[in-house]
């Protein structure tokens, strides 16, 4: 049997499936278990897997896989052991760039929603409790004039900084928490003289809003842990639109419960789609279901890039958005 070109684990939005179907043979196998995915990868029946963040490609799976590549429908790729993929000559593609603004919008939306108690207020109106304007009804906090601390200073952090500056916020950042690295004015570009570079401990201590924008790596797992939460201002709000395991969610629930920090806005969770016990009961949180990139045009562009990566991989070519181009030469 000759290898089918594409194994697709979840149908892509338009134009993704159309592009794949025009380029080769597509097998759509939704809701595969981890064992079924591993068996399919090892079968030799598929050239390229078009994958989602929930599909885990660990070292044992990759060692037995007989595939040319993985096209991940995401900018992040923490679901794939990249070192093991490279060692097994499996090239990985992702979808960078197109979801930067949409995700920064969600970071700002969460800041405003927590600070201004948007979800509580909406529930109040829907419950028929609104009796007219009140001087002290649902008082929240301003964002203008307050300090946003950005953990990381990549594309999404910068887009968030741009928005925060327009809101009249003071913006500070630490480029590679928990460590640091120099950032010169050339790298700062439009932000030179407009944002402050702080060490991780200083950023944690000074932020009114601490927003996480780092990739999930062994170094950033539980970057925000109990001791970091204790070092934050009691009035501070934590925002996470990056990856759930960067925050110790059990420690966060305790910190929100006992007033160590004031609130949290989360789009990602440590063990998605499960939430840490108690999180959903806390009124000082706004919880979204991982929708940072969820706009119609962004998902369409992600689907296009994901399909283009997959098609190039099936042809034995370097994909336009490669994560580990070095795997090609092996
Ligand atoms: C979403 O989380 C992505 O990495 O694209």
pLDDT one-digit tens code per residue, 40-72: 999 999 999 999 999 999 999 999 999 999 999
Q: Is 91 in the pocket of ligand 1 (CB under 6 A)?
A: no
**Position 35 pLDDT exceeds 50:** yes
Q: What average pLDDT score do residues 220-245 get?
A: 98
The CA distance from 7 to 277, in Å, is 36
Q: What is the DSSP string of 97-110?
A: STTHHHHHHHHHHH
**pLDDT for 329 beyond 80:** no
pLDDT bucket at 2, cuts 50 / 70 / 90: low
CA 235 from centroid of its chain's CA atoms:
25
| Structure token pair of residue 254 | 């305790």
Q: Is the CB of 76 under 6 A from ligand 1?
A: yes
The closest of 243, 270, 97, 237 to 164, measured between CA atoms, is 237
H or E segment and range at residue 149: strand 147-151
Q: Give me the pLDDT at residue 1, please.
A: 40
The residue among 285 and 3 whose pLDDT is bigger is: 285
- The number of the ligand 1 atom at minimal distance from the alpha carbon of 302 is 5
CATH number for domain 6-98+297-329, candidates 3.40.50.720, 1.10.10.10, 3.40.50.1110, 3.30.200.20: 3.40.50.720
User: What is the Cα–Cα distance from 9 to 21, expressed in whole angstroms?
Assistant: 14
**CATH number among 3.10.129.10, 3.40.50.300, 3.40.50.720, 3.40.50.1370, domain 100-287:** 3.40.50.720
Q: Quick check: bond before 170 cis, omega within 30?
A: no
**DSSP character at residue 113:** H
pTM of the model: 0.95
CA atoms lying within 13 Å on the CB side of residue 18: 5
pLDDT of residue 4: 82
pLDDT tens digits along 56-114: 999 999 999 999 999 999 999 999 999 999 999 999 999 999 999 999 999 999 999 99
Q: Give start-end residues of each CATH 3.40.50.720 domain in the chain.
A: 6-98+297-329, 100-287
Atom of ligand 1 nearest to the CA of 268: 2
CA dihedral 19, 25, 30, 33 (to 10 degrees): -130
Residue 211, helix vs strand vs coil: strand
293 lines ligand 1 (CB under 6 A): yes
Per annotation, catalytic residue among 116, 162, 197, 290: 290
- Percent of the chain surpassing pLDDT 90: 98
Mean pLDDT, all residues of the chain:
97
**18 assigned to active site:** no
Strand partners, 287: 266
């Amino acid at each position: 049997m000759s290898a089918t070109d594409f194994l697709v684990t979840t149908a892509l939005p338009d134009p993704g499936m159309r592009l794949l179907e025009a380029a080769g043979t597509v097998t759509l196998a939704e809701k595969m278990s981890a064992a079924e995915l591993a068996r399919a990868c090892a079968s030799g029946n598929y050239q390229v897997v078009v994958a989602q963040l929930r599909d885990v490609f660990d070292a044992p799976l990759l060692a037995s896989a007989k595939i040319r590549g993985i096209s991940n429908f995401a900018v992040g790729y923490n679901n794939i052991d990249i070192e093991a993929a490279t060692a097994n000559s499996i090239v990985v593609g992702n979808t960078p760039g197109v979801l930067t603004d949409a995700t920064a919008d969600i970071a700002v939306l969460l800041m405003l929603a927590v600070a201004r108690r948007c979800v509580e207020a909406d529930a109040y109106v829907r419950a028929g409790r609104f009796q007219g304007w009140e001087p002290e009804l649902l008082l929240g906090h301003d964002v203008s004039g307050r300090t946003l601390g950005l953990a990381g200073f990549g594309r999404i952090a910068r887009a968030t900084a741009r928005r925060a500056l327009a809101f009249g916020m003071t913006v500070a950042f630490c480029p590679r928490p928990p460590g640091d690295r120099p950032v010169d004015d050339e790298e700062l570009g439009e932000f030179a003289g407009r944002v402050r570079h702080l060490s991780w401990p200083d950023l944690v201590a000074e932020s009114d809003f601490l927003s996480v924008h780092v990739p999930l790596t062994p170094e950033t797992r539980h970057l925000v842990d109990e001791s970091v939460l204790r070092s934050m201002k009691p009035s501070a709000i934590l925002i996470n639109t990056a990856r759930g395991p960067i925050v110790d969610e059990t420690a966060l629930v305790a910190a929100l419960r006992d007033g160590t920090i004031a609130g949290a806005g989360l789009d990602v969770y440590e063990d998605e789609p499960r939430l840490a016990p108690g999180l959903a009961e806390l009124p000082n949180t706004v919880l979204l279901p991982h929708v940072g990139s969820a706009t119609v045009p962004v998902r369409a562009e992600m689907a296009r890039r994901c399909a283009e990566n997959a098609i190039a991989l099936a042809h034995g070519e370097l994909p336009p958005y490669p994560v580990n181009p070095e795997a090609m030469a092996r």
